[in-house]
Homo-oligomer: A and B are copies of this chain.
Amino acid sequence: MENRRILIIEDEPAIREMVCFAMERAGFDCAQANDAEEGQACIAERAPDLILLDWMLPGISGVDLARRLKREELTRNIPIIMLTAKGEEADRIRGLDVGADDYVVKPFSPRELVARINAVLRRVSPETPEPVLEVDGLVLDSVGHWVSAKGQRLEMGPTEFRLLHFFMTHPDRVYSREQLLDRVWGRNVYVEERTVDVHIRRLRKAIEARGHDKLIQTVRGAGYRFSTRG
């Protein structure tokens, strides 16, 4: 499951960093831009799912950029949340008038921002039907957060759940311990490589009730693989 991509266009580095940090912690991928031009470049190449746009920007203002984006066919559907400095009523209305989907008044709390982003995204692409993964009778429901095999509920810890989720979405391919750490634990997290062995063990144990532990194969000298083909 890919993370949603957020682009923040804001000339104040402090705010940009703060927001970006909050976004990544909330599970979004965050890109930054200094001004409108840079922002447009980012939009063109990364096609963000949502844009946080500062009201005041040097050069082309946020309002102008918003208006421009909403006029373009390609970018019209990308939701925009304006970051406005003061609670000027007229500004807010104008912001919404140019097509922004919501606005947040500075100073704002990271949580409020995240909440608004989620709300806007929810409005734009409502209730995604649940992606239920199934391999050989092993079922993983990422929305309901549970795993079952032929009707029987399987219990496991959060890490094992993520690990299994990763495997089920990336089958038939060997991943080294390092790669697994990178993709399941997350980038800049430092844990011993051998720890992967332990979690593999825990995962196997959790799914062995119906013989699904066979799906996780050890590839000596290379890593692990998830596959139906023995």
A residues adjacent to B (C-beta < 8 A): 26, 59-61, 63-64, 67, 71, 73, 89, 92-93, 96, 102, 109, 111-112, 114-116, 118-119, 122, 130, 143-146, 153, 157-158, 172-174, 178-179, 181-182, 187-188, 190, 219-222, 225, 227, 229-230
* A157-B220 CB under 8 A given contacts A144-B172, A144-B225: yes
| Chain B contacts for A173, CB-based, 8 A | 130, 143-144
- Return chain B residues, CB-CB under 8 Å to A227: 144
Closest B residue by C-beta to A191 = B111
Query: Known contacts A158-B222, A222-B145; is A178 also within 8 Å of B93 by CB?
Result: no
Which of A71, A111, A145 lies at the interface centre, i.e. has the most chain B CB atoms within 10 A of its CB?
A145
Report Cα–Cα, A146/B15, bound state, in Å.
Answer: 45
Chain B nearest CB, measured from A103 CB (Å): 10
> A89's contact among B61, B122, B179, B187, by CB below 8 Å, is which?
B61
Which residues of chain B are near A26, meaning CB under 8 Å? 178
Contact of A92 among B64, B93, B230 (CB under 8 A): B64
Q: Which of B116, B144, B188, B219 contacts A174 (CB 8 A)?
A: B144
Pair B179/A118 contact, Cβ less than 8 Å: yes
What 4 A-B pairs come out closest when comparing CB atoms?
A: A158-B221, A145-B174, A115-B182, A145-B219
Chain B hits for A229, CB < 8 A: 146, 153
Q: How far is the CB of A186 from chain B (nearest CB, A)?
A: 9
Q: Is the CB of B174 within 8 A of A112?
A: no
* In the complex, residue of chain B having the shortest beta-carbon distance to the beta carbon of A120: B71
Q: A71 — which chain B residues lie within 8 A by C-beta? A: 102
